[in-house]
Amino acid sequence: MECCQCVGTDLIMALQIPDSMDEIVYFTNRTIDNGKAVVWVQKQDCPKCKKAKMGKPAEDGHVKIRAKEYVCPACKYTVEKTAYEEGLTAYAIYTCPSCEYQGEYTGIFKRKNIEGALTFRFPCSKCKANIDVTKKMKEKKKK
């Protein structure tokens, strides 16, 4: 995947939202004050065989929701959850709530505890304001 490209004065969005939920680990579509953000994290290829995407283990056709590891369906290679999630890349298409700039972001997917809620934070590429996407159904604590 590529980031946005400038052609003359027009900005062409190059990020494509995945077609299937089978390709991603995380997806959200949020409204943030005056802005909005669509954020997704794609599954990684197996580092051993490079033939399939790593995923949570499945038993009897059902995926383990709270699994502590990720498994390659082709070669059964296993990686611990924390080690796997440290190498994930997040992609976002957003409208900044501060300056209303429409842009894209690609970077490391890491959530931090900000004001009592697990939050994925990334900067606006124009005004550098922080755009916070909190974990589902969580709100920051009021001061």
Shared domain check, 94 and 37: yes
**pLDDT in the model for residue 16:** 84
Q: Are residues 100 and 129 in the same domain?
A: yes
* 22-28: Cβ within 8 A, 24+ apart: 23/53, 25/85, 25/88, 26/90, 26/109, 28/133, 28/136
Q: Are 83 and 113 in contact (CB under 8 A)?
A: no
Ranges of residues in the chain with a pLDDT under 70 are: 1-13, 136-143
Say if residue 105 is in the same domain as residue 130.
yes
Listed residue (74, 55, 72, 52) closest to 64, CA to CA = 55
Same domain, 139 and 100: yes
**pTM of structure:** 0.78
Range of the domain at 60: 45-86
**Same domain, residue pair 9 and 65:** no
Residues 102, 127 within the same domain:
yes
Q: What is the pLDDT of residue 12?
A: 46
pLDDT the model gives residue 58: 85
Answer yes or no: do 33 and 100 share one domain: yes
**Residue 13's pLDDT is what?**
56
Q: What's the confidence (pLDDT) of residue 118?
A: 87
pLDDT of 105 reads 95
